[in-house]
Amino acid sequence: MLLVPQVAVIAVFFFWPAAQALLQSVQQQDAFGTSTEWVGLANFRSLFSDASYLASFKTTAVFSLLVAVLGLAISLLLAVLADRVVKGALAYKTLLIWPYAVAPAVAGVLWLFMFAPSIGVVSYALHRAGVNWNHLLNSNHAMTLIVMAAVWKQISYNFLFFLAGLQSIPKSLIEAAAIDGARAWRRFWTIVFPLLSPTTFFLLVINIVYAFFDTFGIIDAATEGGPGRDTAILVFKLYYDGFKALDLGGSAAQSVVLMVIVVALTVLQFRFVEKRVNY
Amino acid sequence: MVERHPWLTFLTHAVLLLGVAIVAFPVYVTFVASTHTAEEIVQTPMPLLPGNQFWHNYAAALTGSEHGPGSSAPVGRMMWVSLVSALVISLGKIAISLLSAFAIVYFRFPFRRFFFWAIFVTLMLPVEVRIFPTYKVVSDLHMLNTYAGLTIPLIASATATFLFRQFFMTVPDELVEAARVDGAGPMRFFKDILVPLSATSIAALFVIQFIYGWNQYLWPLLATTDENMYPVVIGIKRMISGGDAAQQWNLVMATAMLAMIPPALVVMLMQKWFVKGLVDTEK
């Protein structure tokens, strides 16, 4: 009986919708919901022959790769440095973790404001430096903008995990290497980095999931998928096609594709976690 | 540290400070912008020192008294909506997951494994993926523009159940037996022993879920159409109606500051539990 609340909630708001998505993905429905037709895999077929959907795949891949790699590199650097610091480590930690609390949409607005072509502080400075910044027209600029905002928000999370990972590396190993004459740079790449690889891999998966799903707010607030559809990642396209263009069948098919991607990522992560236990 | 180089230490601090500065810069600009008049901000370059319109802007944003080109719903009301939904999401999730984790760990009943897996599967799919059908269910139940519609679909996930399950399995059996010998029924055991024992897990989870609830964007965007039910995160987006210069950026930025403060405070004040929560929920 204790299970009733949770089971009721997940049945109504999880399994029922998920089943609906599966069902709708093989049906064709008009926008008023008056007629429904069974179309088999046609939705998927038209999805994968749709150039804009494939383009969205590419956008998503570029975006999540950039976010994951940049986010990991910057936070690893900061974590390594914070690990070195003897005094004031806690202060740095406090000052670096709070962006986690900022809502993605708010982060999008903040960065939009700094980079707004006519009034932003940074775009003004860029203008002075000879760069004609306009993310409303230039899709590379738009991509740069959302990548920066997304990385900015994720740094704190990566930082915390890297710091925890670094602190769990036995000091004796590093001291032994130092006695053997390995300099700091060498010690990092031959000892610290390999020992940190489980953390890094875990964060890589988490960051990709983050870039796939949680960045919707950033994109909607900063670029609305524009210019054109150049920053429309898969989740944004799903939202746009379903709610703005009212293509229910196609949108449901997109849901199913996303579900498959998430499940694949989750399985990857779980297999990895098991590996870490052995390791 | 293994070795000491004075200038390496200096460099470390310098880079860290630079990192902190870059991380803080957007918020500093926001704060500055929220203390000027709209006209001052639109000038390029905008001033980089705080102005004197602090009280005026925040009061205007909170009450929605100044009418600009975008939406000018009172932010005070939105903050309240955000607060209520964040609290309902975090507390609701904790409550139902405590109960079901308790049931799964301590009771033997038919289909136990089935329920376990049913809950487990929900871990895999974020709301974003099943967004459209969920929307349909909620609108069929007439829950659009209500707190229930805003919160319950987001409670439907099992992260918390798993966390509590892991924790309950570490509770020694001796405690269960001792409670039984002393004549405590199952609910009594749950209330007097299990819940107090999991207090730190609950606190950690609360921090994470509160932030999660406060920062929701896509779902409230769909589930609310009435200005009275907008959470503050949606409200900000609605205030930007296109066109750089015509915005009342001072009010938008004041709203952004207001939207950031509660979750940032929660993170910084409850740092210990926050870190614990992050690490635990991702296991």
- pLDDT tens-digit profile of B259-274? 888 888 887 777 777 7
pLDDT at B46 (0 to 100): 66
pLDDT at B38 (0 to 100): 67
Q: Considering the domain boundaries, does residue B2 fall inside one? A: no
Whether A220 sits inside 8 A of B137 (CB atoms) is: no
Whether A85 sits inside 8 A of B12 (CB atoms) is: yes
Residue A272 in contact with partner chain B when CB distance is under 8 A: no
Q: What is the mean pLDDT of residues A240-247?
A: 70
Q: Which of A95-104, A153-162, B108-117 comes out lowest in average pLDDT?
A: B108-117
Q: What is the mean pLDDT of residues B102-120?
A: 75
pLDDT at A31 > cutoff 60: no
Most A-contacting residue of B16, B49, B236 (CB-CB within 10 A), to test interface: B16
Whether B217 sits inside 8 A of A104 (CB atoms) is: yes
pLDDT at B214 (0 to 100): 83
pLDDT at A196 (0 to 100): 82
Q: Which of A36-40, A166-170, B89-93, B265-269 comes out lowest in average pLDDT?
A: A36-40
Q: Which residues of B touch A175 (CB under 8 A)?
A: 2
Q: Which of A140-144, B68-72, B135-139, B201-205 comes out lowest in average pLDDT?
A: B68-72
Q: Which residues of A touch B267 (CB under 8 A)?
A: 97-98, 100-101
Q: What is the mean pLDDT of residues A112-128?
A: 75
How close does chain A come to B234, measured CA to CA in Å? 8
pLDDT at B79 (0 to 100): 80
Q: Which of A24-33, A227-236, B194-203 comes out lowest in average pLDDT?
A: A24-33
Please name which of B79, B20, B23 lies closest in space to residue B254, comparing C-alpha atoms.
B79
Most B-contacting residue of A1, A4, A6 (CB-CB within 10 A), to test interface: A6
pLDDT at A39 (0 to 100): 63
Contacts of B100 (CB under 8 A, 6+ apart): A2, A3, A5, A6, A7, B115, B119, B161
Burial (Cβ within 10 Å: 0-12, 13-18, ≥19) of residue B193 = middle
pLDDT at B77 (0 to 100): 79
- pLDDT tens-digit profile of B20-30? 888 888 888 77
H, E, C per residue of A218-232: HHHHHCCCCCCCCCC
Residue corresponding to tokens 């679909």: B153
pLDDT at A3 (0 to 100): 66
Residue A78 in contact with partner chain B when CB distance is under 8 A: yes
pLDDT at A81 > cutoff 80: yes
Q: Which of B19, B136, B237 is nearest residue A220 as measured by Cβ atoms? A: B237
Give the nearest chain A residue to B107 (CA atoms). Answer: A2
Q: What is the mean pLDDT of residues B31-42?
A: 72
One-letter amino acid for residue A215 of the chain:
T
Please name which of B178, B215, B196 lies closest in space to residue B98, comparing C-alpha atoms.
B196
Is B267 within 8 Å of A101 (Cβ atoms)? Answer: yes
Q: Give the DSSP H/E element, type plus range, for residue A15.
A: none
Q: Which of A15-19, A108-112, A141-145, B96-100 comes out lowest in average pLDDT?
A: A15-19
Residue of higher predicted confidence among A195 and A249: A195
Q: What is the mean pLDDT of residues A20-45?
A: 63
Q: Give the DSSP H/E element, type plus range, for residue A27.
A: strand A27-29
Whether B263 sits inside 8 A of A103 (CB atoms) is: yes
pLDDT at B240 > cutoff 80: no
Q: Considering the domain boundaries, does residue B36 fall inside one? A: no
Widest pairwise Cα distance in chain B: 76
DSSP type of residue B46: P
Is A108 within 8 Å of A149 (Cβ atoms)? Answer: yes
Residue A170's SS3 state is: coil
pLDDT at A270 > cutoff 50: yes
Residue A37's SS3 state is: strand
pLDDT at B45 (0 to 100): 62
Is B89 within 8 Å of A13 (Cβ atoms)? Answer: no
How close does chain B come to A36, measured CA to CA in Å? 15
Provide the token pair at B269.
């004040």
Q: Considering the domain boundaries, does residue B23 fall inside one? A: no
Please name which of B268, B10, B206 lies closest in space to residue A93, comparing C-alpha atoms.
B268
pLDDT at B279 > cutoff 80: no
What CATH number should be reported for the domain holding residue B200?
1.10.3720.10
- pLDDT tens-digit profile of B149-167? 777 777 776 777 777 887 8
pLDDT at B41 (0 to 100): 66
Domain containing B212 equals 75-242+260-279
Window 229-258 of A, Cβ < 8 Å to B = 235, 238-239, 242-243, 248, 251-252, 255, 258
Rounded to 5 degrees, what are φ and ψ at A27? Answer: -125, 160
Q: Which residues pair with A38 in a beta bridge?
A: A27
pLDDT at A246 (0 to 100): 66
pLDDT at B189 (0 to 100): 83
Q: What is the mean pLDDT of residues A249-261?
A: 76
Q: What is the mean pLDDT of residues B190-210?
A: 83
- Cβ contacts below 8 Å, chain A against chain B, sum to 258
pLDDT at A221 > cutoff 80: no
Residue corresponding to tokens 């297999």: A271
Please name which of A155, A184, A147, A148 lies closest in space to residue A92, comparing C-alpha atoms.
A155
Provide the token pair at A250.
């196609």
Is B47 within 8 Å of B36 (Cβ atoms)? Answer: yes
pLDDT at B283 (0 to 100): 47
- Angle (nearest 5°) at CA B206 between B203 and B212: 150
Rounded Cα distance, B150 and B85, in Å: 7
Mean pLDDT of chain A: 76
Contacts of B275 (CB under 8 A, 6+ apart): A97, A160, A164
Q: Considering the domain boundaries, does residue B84 fall inside one? A: yes
Rounded Cα distance, A30 and A153, in Å: 40
Question: ipTM of this complex > 0.90?
Answer: no
Q: How many domains does chain B have?
A: 1
User: In this structure, what is the dihedral angle of CA atoms A183, A186, A192, A195, given to the nearest 10 degrees?
Assistant: -140
Whether A3 sits inside 8 A of B100 (CB atoms) is: yes
Residue corresponding to tokens 């180089």: B5
Candidate ranges A92-96, B109-113, B236-240; pick with highest mean pLDDT? A92-96
